[in-house]
Amino acid sequence: MKMKRFIIASLASLVFVVACQKVPLTGRNQLMLINSKELLPMSFTSYKEVLDTSKVLRSGSQVEMVKRAGQRIRKSVEAYLTANNYSQVLEGFQWEFNVIENKAVNAWCMPGGKVVFYTGILPICRDETGIAVVMGHEISHAIASHGAERMSQGLLAQGALTAGQVGLGVAMANKPQETQNIWMGLYGIAAPAAASVGYILPNSRNQESEADRLGLTFMAMAGYDPRAAVDFWQRMAQASGGQKPPQWLSTHPADNSRVSNLQKLMPDAVKLYNKSTGNTKSTGRR
């Protein structure tokens, strides 16, 4: 009897281990019914499709700034995750930072480190530090496996995975079309005008504040002044007045609670920033 109970308890904890994952830095437990690595082939295909159907800028100061901010934040992300035993999160990543010429006020990062900035968001970013605010936030969604978390929720809701089942392969075998649709619903390509624009459905409130916190930390570690984040969100809020509100705002509300959360996190982020710029004077703030 005791043995039976022991086996049941072990099985239950095994399911928990497989189905749950901790977010780096915040430590939040997330429901994870698939391995985020399983999403990478779909992500890379979708990303390529966006690039193939868009006007990708190859050179110029805007491209240089986006790529430099991306690489610097990538380095701090890799250093942090390696030092904290989270490097498995980055398995299979194929980082890429691209700028698409399009008025859309938007930027995103698909699973596996596939980043796009639209030229429409660059005036609101204003400079490289502003780009680092958006870059840090978007990369953090990928680092925190928010895509796999949302996919897990979708698979459960659509019945593609039932109790005790895990894995994208299982979901594909159960309900191939639904599984494909959930992905396309989260990370799809819309063609509103001449050029197509990739889109990503809004994250949950939890995921948003998590990406804010991680993003602030990683930009500071990369030597970008995190205080620029508050200014950026205020400029973004101002841009919502007038004509069409920026696409970014529909997925990222620039409300008071976001700004006050950022302000709460600021003292620690500034410490990290001072540490990183003190240690690397030559590559400090740009």
Report the largest interatomic distance among the alpha carbons of the chain, rounded to a whole angstrom: 71
DSSP state for residue 188 in the 8-state scheme: E
Q: What residues numbered 166-195 form the site for Zn ion, per CB under 5 A?
A: none
Tokens of 32: 């994870």
Least spacing, CB of residue 24 vs Zn ion, in Å: 16
Q: Looking at beta carbons, which residue is closest to Zn ion? A: 211
Give the interface segment with Zn ion, choosing from 126-134, 164-172, 187-195, 203-211 (CB under 5 A). 203-211
- Contact, 82 vs 49, CB < 8 A? no
Least spacing, CB of residue 72 vs Zn ion, in Å: 20
- Contact, 258 vs 233, CB < 8 A? yes
Least spacing, CB of residue 138 vs Zn ion, in Å: 7
Give the interface segment with Zn ion, choosing from 11-19, 20-28, 159-167, 208-216 (CB under 5 A). 208-216
Least spacing, CB of residue 11 vs Zn ion, in Å: 36
Least spacing, CB of residue 269 vs Zn ion, in Å: 17
Start-to-end CA distance of the chain, whole Å, equals 67
Cβ proximity to Zn ion: between 139 and 160 the closer is 139
Q: Tell me, what amino acid is at 115?
A: V
Residues binding Zn ion: number (CB under 5 A): 1
Cβ proximity to Zn ion: between 153 and 158 the closer is 153
Q: Which of 211, 214, 221, 262 binds Zn ion (CB under 5 A)?
A: 211
Q: What residues numbered 74-133 form the site for Zn ion, per CB under 5 A?
A: none
Q: What per-residue string of b and e applies to 179-204 under the rule 16 or more CB within 10 Å gives b?
A: beebbeebbbbeeeeebbbbbbeebe
Residue 135 touches Zn ion, criterion: CB under 5 A: no
- Contact, 113 vs 58, CB < 8 A? no
Query: Exposed, middle or buried: residue 172 (CB in 10 Å: 0-12, 13-18, 19+)?
Result: middle
Give the interface segment with Zn ion, choosing from 14-22, 23-31, 187-195, 206-214 (CB under 5 A). 206-214
Q: Residue numbers of the site for Zn ion (CB under 5 A)?
A: 211
